[in-house]
Structure 1
Amino acid sequence: MQHITFGPKYRIKNNYIFPNNLLTNVLSLAAKIVFIFSYTYCVYFGSTYAERISQPITFLDFLRFYDCLFYCIGFALTFVIQVTQGKNSILFVLLFQEVHRFLNNKISIKQTVSSIWIVVILTSLFVPVYFIVFCVLVNFPFYFIIPSHFLAAFDFNMVYATQVMKLLTNKVDLWVSQVKYGDKLESRHRGDYWRKLFQTYVDIMKCYDIHNNCYRAF
């Protein structure tokens, strides 16, 4: 999903995770610039379109320009977060893997992952249909649809952030259940169970903090 929005925070190759290289950051920056200019053009076209049909400038026109400024700042901010929080994003993945090794309920995680994919697929299908229907109803030219899709980057970021929170919440629920049966499970871990459980709690909290730093702007 991060690649869909041209904002990958890391690369995974052959089961190894790597930070973004210079080429990836340059391509992402170029994509963000295209997003900004395309959306600005949409706003400009909307204002000139209103003039051509002899509609006076209204408060909605002011809101349109405000939205343009807001989204342009948002595009720039996503790139800044991508570059500055790249190492933290990798740390998040590594910490989550450690948590997953200790707290791994296959049935629960399978249900969570399935629900996440359903949300991702529905979002990917809904956004294009929404913009196409909107442009058809207001009689905008077809080329207006393509820049409008760039706004979906924020929707995908929100979906991604929400689903990651769902994964972390799932791990918290598993952690609570492990605490309830801690006395019974202590013997299986050779007396080291509570230390591992506490370290897992620390890792989950670190994941929450990293996630908050990376996505609080959205």
Structure 2
Amino acid sequence: MKFYRKTETKTNVHLVFNNLLDKDVQSIFFPLNLMHYIVFCPKYTIKNNFIIPTSFIVKLISILGTLVFISVTLYRNYYLFFYQESVTISPFMYYSSYYDALFYSFGFSMNCLFGIFKSELIIRSIMTFQNIHRYLNNESNTRRNIILNWTYVIVTFVGYFSIYTYFYSQLSNSYNLTNAFFLVSFDINAVLAIRSLNLLEDKISLWNVSICKNQELENVNDRNYAKKMYQAYVNVLECYETLKTLSRSFVST
């Protein structure tokens, strides 16, 4: 008699179908996720209305992009010390340049690894936010957050590139300028953390408004309403704790 081992696929299928992302939530997080794709460190993928961890191909591209960032950073030091003979380099400049190369290379590597190994935790925080959003939202608030996210993305990239282009415009080579552009990958982590916490702050405001309105209508003692509001509050705390953990990792990179 032959025995066949049953494979467990129920959990994976359940996980995928639980990651269905609403259209308005997709619109809120799309510009923030786009930032990470631009600098080759995506945290997740939204495909066919599902939010999933990045695929093997995307992870491979992220690793290759990180290697390019590191190579440009190291080549900047190589060029500075071996080809710019006309420039006098002080001991401070010498050691600080090596420190910068090591520091930035470590930061690029951590950014890449963060996107690979923290993807599921980030997805969980977004799904928790969606649970809050389904109960605490209004059209004007959602539209405002979408506009703000796009504004943050545009200002970050345009402002960053404009400032560095201006300061490096008189250099005789492009390596310093290219290296400076790559450093925006560190700042977008701060933008993501700030905007994520702002979104939670908006939900808390909507929660307070809902409580006040229902007190005026003397509907606050409704058991079903109280249960939903309590669950929304629990979800906000859970999402905040997850974002706090992620933000600490952002700061460390």
Query: With structure 1 as the length reference, what TM-score do the two structures score?
Result: 0.88
In the other structure, the counterpart of 1:33 is 67
Pair member with larger Rg: 2
**Distance in 2 (alpha carbons) for counterparts of 1:196 and 1:15:** 25
Offset, 1:180: 2.6
In the other structure, the counterpart of 1:67 is 100
Relative to 1, partners in 2 of residues 1:213 and 1:98: Cα closer, same or farther, differing over 3 Å? same
In the other structure, the counterpart of 1:164 is 196
In the other structure, the counterpart of 2:53 is 19
Counterpart of 1:22 in structure 2: which amino acid? F
Where does the alignment leave 5 or more consecutive residues of structure 1 unmatched?
none
**Distance in 2 (alpha carbons) for counterparts of 1:56 and 1:143:** 17
Aligned: 1:152 with 2:168: no
Aligned: 1:195 with 2:227: yes
Asked whether the equivalents of residues 42 and 147 of structure 1 are also in contact (C-alpha less than 8 Å), the reply is yes
Q: Which moved more, 1:117-126 or 1:206-215?
A: 206-215
Asked whether the equivalents of residues 7 and 79 of structure 1 are also in contact (C-alpha less than 8 Å), the reply is yes
Offset, 1:77: 1.0
**Distance in 2 (alpha carbons) for counterparts of 1:44 and 1:156:** 28
**Distance in 2 (alpha carbons) for counterparts of 1:117 and 1:191:** 39
The secondary structure found in structure 2 opposite 1:107 is helix
Asked whether the equivalents of residues 109 and 170 of structure 1 are also in contact (C-alpha less than 8 Å), the reply is no
**Distance in 2 (alpha carbons) for counterparts of 1:90 and 1:113:** 19
The secondary structure found in structure 2 opposite 1:3 is helix
| Superposition RMSD in Å | 2.3
Asked whether the equivalents of residues 36 and 72 of structure 1 are also in contact (C-alpha less than 8 Å), the reply is yes
Asked whether the equivalents of residues 211 and 220 of structure 2 are also in contact (C-alpha less than 8 Å), the reply is no
Offset, 1:45: 2.4
**Distance in 2 (alpha carbons) for counterparts of 1:42 and 1:66:** 13
Offset, 1:46: 3.0
The secondary structure found in structure 1 opposite 2:95 is helix
**Distance in 1 (alpha carbons) for counterparts of 2:127 and 2:93:** 46
Q: Which moved more, 1:109-118 or 1:4-13?
A: 109-118
Aligned residues: 216
Where does the alignment leave 5 or more consecutive residues of structure 2 unmatched?
1-34
Asked whether the equivalents of residues 12 and 18 of structure 1 are also in contact (C-alpha less than 8 Å), the reply is yes
Relative to 1, partners in 2 of residues 1:163 and 1:43: Cα closer, same or farther, differing over 3 Å? farther
Offset, 1:142: 2.6
**Distance in 2 (alpha carbons) for counterparts of 1:177 and 1:103:** 10
For 2:151, which of 90, 99, 118 is the aligned residue? 118
Asked whether the equivalents of residues 28 and 79 of structure 1 are also in contact (C-alpha less than 8 Å), the reply is yes
In the other structure, the counterpart of 2:134 is 101
Counterpart of 2:36 in structure 1: which amino acid? Q
In the other structure, the counterpart of 2:79 is 45
In the other structure, the counterpart of 1:209 is 241
For 1:134, which of 136, 156, 167 is the aligned residue? 167
Aligned: 1:10 with 2:48: no
Query: With structure 2 as the length reference, what TM-score do the two structures score?
Result: 0.77
Asked whether the equivalents of residues 41 and 115 of structure 2 are also in contact (C-alpha less than 8 Å), the reply is yes
Relative to 1, partners in 2 of residues 1:145 and 1:191: Cα closer, same or farther, differing over 3 Å? same
Q: Which moved more, 1:70-79 or 1:204-213?
A: 204-213
